[in-house]
Amino acid sequence: MLKTKNIMAVFAVFALVMLAGEVLIYAAPYSYDSDVVRTSDGLEYSVDSPISADYNIVALDNGDRVRIDRVYMYYDAGYPSINPIGEQGDFIKILEDESAIRGLSSMYRADADGILKVINDVSIDPRSVAVLMCSGSFPEVLYDGTEDSPILRWLGDGGTLIWIGGPMGSCYSDRDHMMEAEAGYEELFFGEGTGGSIRDDSELFIASSGQKVNPIDEALSIVMNDATYGVNTSVLDRVGLRYLPMGYISDSGFRCSAMIEVPGGSGMIMLFGTNLNQFYTEAVAQSIAAGLNYESELVGHQEGSLGSGKTVGDMRVPSDTNLTVYLYLEKVRLIYARTFSI
């Protein structure tokens, strides 16, 4: 029944299917296009998608803060750190991928000296730059547990620190040793009376109350329940700091994440109080791409399904504010996102 020519035919079929996949992926990849424009009573959006997907249009009033246009990601094997350097590398790689899908191209890796150079460069507007730390501890050249630390000065000048994977400010290191900051180090970042506001117990701590007060989370499909290094927002309330709560909150008052104003200046700390888990790269990328800050407010959200081809729609939003519109498509995972300032 079977002959050599049948075998060759089977081989040809398998090889052709493989080739078809190769060509489709590398020579004819999907491409998307989208646009959002303001109209007299709201906004009009258009999405050109080659496939059917679920869509979300999120309109945010991000206040007066300058949108971050560059992120420097700290990665330096020359300093001891709480999180292993391999895990940091994996996290950063995935974050780069997640950011690329969202149209964020200005993500750069930098070592401690590189970061120091950026934050000391007077020609760079600190308000447009973020420094991301996923090491769990600071290199001493940036932070040494004192108020004279360069990173604190830079935050006071309007810079943004994105922190994930450790108790922020608790540890720093020179090239050989890890050192602990004195208790109450939180006050260096959040001001007087905020000591003890960050959890520093490394045992996994799940925020399990189910209370989720921020509708922006929902609109951006951000899910966070790990509050191991979370922040006690009631302390921030007490000292009158503005912040945008993110993720769930524990019964003891620790929030997984928050975008927190730096006192006495225009800086911001995007604190992700989770462990360094690859799952949270989506939350970090989504927050950066949507331009979230402590002033952010949700002013409109529309979701639904769209078919392949061009889809046009409109949405009512307040006409008197500067808006950031974040548009994203999902098919279980996010496959496309773009941000528009209108």
Partner 1 sequence: MLSFKNPLIKILLIGFIIRLVVGVFITYVIDIDYWIQISANVDAGMDLYEGTGYYYTPVWGYYVGFMTRIGNLFGIDMGYIFTDMIFSEEIQYRIITVPSVVYAMLIKVPLMLCDLVAGALIYYLIKRVTDNERKALIGCAIWIFCPLVIYVSSVQGMFDTIMVVFMLISLILLIEGKYFFAGAALSLAVFIKLFPILLVPVFVAYVLLKNKGNNKEMLMNLLKSVSGFVVAMLVVMLPTILTDSVSRSFSFFTTRMDSASSISSLADVFSYSTMTYLSPIIVVVCIVLAYYLYKSKRRNKEAALMTVCMFSLSLMFVLPALTQYYLIVVPFLAYFITTSESRYSRALLIVFTILIMLRFAQSNSMLLFSFFASMGWDISNLILISHSFEMNCYSLVLDLEVLFKVAIVAILALFAFKMNKRRLSNAED
Q: Which residues bind partner 1 (CB under 8 A)?
A: 1-2, 4, 7-8, 10-11, 14-15, 17-22, 24-26, 29-32, 50-53, 93-94, 97-98, 100-101, 206, 208-210, 223, 225, 248, 278-279, 307-308, 331-336
The nearest distance, CB 206 to partner 1, in angstroms, is 4
CB proximity list for 37: less than 8 A, separation 6 or greater: 43, 44, 45, 342
Q: Looking at 111-252, which runs of residues are DSSP E strands?
A: 129-133, 138-139, 160-164, 171-173, 178-180, 231-232, 243-249
Helix ranges (DSSP H) in 121-199: 150-156, 186-190
Smaller CB separation from partner 1, 288 or 323: 288
Query: Token pair for residue 320?
Result: 């008197």
The nearest distance, CB 99 to partner 1, in angstroms, is 11
The nearest distance, CB 211 to partner 1, in angstroms, is 10
The nearest distance, CB 26 to partner 1, in angstroms, is 4
Smaller CB separation from partner 1, 5 or 264: 5
Q: How many CB atoms lie within 10 A of CB 11?
A: 10
The whole-angstrom distance between residue 81's C-alpha and the CA centroid of its chain comes to 21
The nearest distance, CB 208 to partner 1, in angstroms, is 4
Q: Kindly provide the b/e burial profile for residues 154-193, where b requires at least 16 CB atoms within 10 angstroms of the residue's own CB.
A: bbbbbbbbbbbbbbbbbbbbeeeeeeebeeebbbbbbbee
Helix ranges (DSSP H) in 27-108: 85-101
The nearest distance, CB 272 to partner 1, in angstroms, is 16
Smaller CB separation from partner 1, 46 or 225: 225
Smaller CB separation from partner 1, 75 or 190: 75
CA angle (249 as vertex; 245, 254 as ends), nearest 5 = 90
> Residue 115 class from Cβ within 10 Å (0-12 exposed, 13-18 middle, 19+ buried)?
buried
Smaller CB separation from partner 1, 269 or 284: 284
The whole-angstrom distance between residue 182's C-alpha and the CA centroid of its chain comes to 29
The nearest distance, CB 337 to partner 1, in angstroms, is 10
Smaller CB separation from partner 1, 9 or 37: 9
The nearest distance, CB 185 to partner 1, in angstroms, is 28
Smaller CB separation from partner 1, 128 or 225: 225
The packing angle between helices 281-289 and 85-101, to 10°, is 40
Smaller CB separation from partner 1, 20 or 37: 20
Smaller CB separation from partner 1, 96 or 187: 96
The nearest distance, CB 236 to partner 1, in angstroms, is 23
CB proximity list for 12: less than 8 A, separation 6 or greater: none
> What does the chain come to in residues?
342
Tell me the C-alpha distance between 261 and 236, whole Å: 10
